[in-house]
Amino acid sequence: MYSFLNDYSEGAHPLVLDALIHTNSEQTVGYGCDVYCQKAKEVILKRIQNQNADVHFLVGGTQTNMTFISYVLRDYQAVIASDEGHINVHETGSIEATGHKVITKPHQEGKITVEMIQALLSEHTDEHMVQPVMVYISQTTELGSYYTLKELQTLYAFTREKGLYLFLDGARLGSSLVLEDAPNMAEIAANVDAFYIGGTKMGAMFGEALVIINDNLKKDFRFQMKQKGAMLAKGRLLGVQFYALLKDSLYEDIGRHENEMAMIIKQAFEEKGYSLYVPSFTNQIFVDLDSNIIQAIEKEFMVTHIKKINEKKERIRIVTSWATPVEEATKFAELIRTL
């Protein structure tokens, strides 16, 4: 049965796998100090048009969030997220495990707004409360929406004004890069203090590339990585993969494909009059459906149950990936139209 459960159901994109195969027998030094990590770093610096950024390669998303956020915050400081932020709900308290509170407001279509941040700042005023110093956002968001360039610029102008750092979790970054009004990689780099380029959910076997723009957040970060178990011995595996993904347009090609597959499905829902929970132009679709419709879908496809909405309706999630065949997306859309 074909799975739309997530975008990490398969191994690596064939071109990424090839790169791993072709470099497998070479000897390199460990821990990310090898020539492949260097090459991947150079490609990233060129893409972001900033030769001064630091680039580090880590293995997974929770690990990257936890390692970097705990690095930035002093003991009594907190990170701001939306209530649906990945760090708030789906990382088993990994931020808190490093000693820090995640403070939240309810999301606006999956996103954080200036008003939400301002409200949290107003509520945290003295030493009896944590001190907010960083805002965490995701591109694309956990609900499939995305920040336009303009929205990102607005957020960054505000966070700079307030002395906050802005950190963008790009686990599914590629999916946004191909959207017209979304920021490209250089625009992102110009409007955050740090961000990461997701690999795991974008065709890599595993891996995330953390890009640190703000000079204040760079010193001795490798110590933090090692301590948090986030420094891969065979670090070159990460360099090889990111070089393969980013040297040409593979990363964007993957993003475009998965969006297209999702739009095939979305269109079918819209034709049938089902509106999505949050408007989506990316590879995640959340929709509230009657149980009998979900049952019909699940005779042919695997999807994720998110939440019971009421007696009859449940919210499900459909995720497409680099590996989703047009045939399966089309089959899914056709099924919807028959229900």
| Contacts of a second copy in 27-66 (CB under 8 A) | 27-30, 59-64, 66
Choosing from 49, 76, 186, 272, the residue that interacts with a second copy (CB under 8 A) is: 76
Residues 164-223 that bind a second copy (CB under 8 A): 200-201, 205-206, 220, 222-223
Using CB under 8 A as the binding rule, whether residue 67 contacts a second copy is answered as yes
Residue from 49, 52, 93, 298 in contact with a second copy (CB under 8 A): 93
DSSP for residue 275? P
Residue 39 CA to residue 146 CA, distance in Å, equals 29
Site for a second copy contains 314 (CB under 8 A): no
Report the distance separating Cα 7 and Cα 261, nearest Å: 12
Under 8 Å between Cβ of 72 and 47:
no
Site for a second copy (CB under 8 A): which residue of 49, 227, 275, 292? Answer: 227
CB neighbours (10 Å) of residue 98?
16
Q: Which of residues 237-256 bind a second copy (CB under 8 A)?
A: 237
Q: Which two tokens stand for residue 151?
A: 């929205």
Measured in degrees and rounded to the nearest 5, phi and psi for residue 168 equal -110, 120
Candidate list 160, 226, 312, 337; residue touching a second copy; CB under 8 A? 226
Give the whole-angstrom CA distance, residue 107 versus residue 321: 25
* Shortest separation between residue 29's beta carbon and a second copy, angstroms: 7
Q: Provide the minimum distance between the beta carbon of 118 and a second copy in the complex, in angstroms, as a whole number.
A: 13
CB closer to a second copy out of 201 and 266: 201
Tell me, residue by residue from 128 to 167, as one string, x for binding to a second copy by CB under 8 A and - for no binding.
xxxx------------------------------------
**Is-cis flag, bond preceding 140, omega within 30?**
yes
In the window 3-22, what residues touch a second copy (CB under 8 A)?
3, 5-6, 8-12, 14, 17, 20-21
List the beta bridge partners of residue 209: 57, 197
Which residues does 35 contact at the CB level (< 8 Å), separation at least 6?
28, 236, 239
The least CB distance from residue 308 to a second copy, in Å, is 8
**How many angstroms separate the Cα of 287 from the Cα of each of 55, 69, 273, 313?**
37, 32, 11, 10
Taking the complex as a whole, how short is the minimal distance between the CB of residue 102 and a second copy, in angstroms? 8
Toward a second copy, which CB reaches closer, 94 or 282? 94
**Least CB distance to a second copy at residue 249 (A):** 22
Which helix (H) or strand (E) covers residue 76, if one does? Answer: none
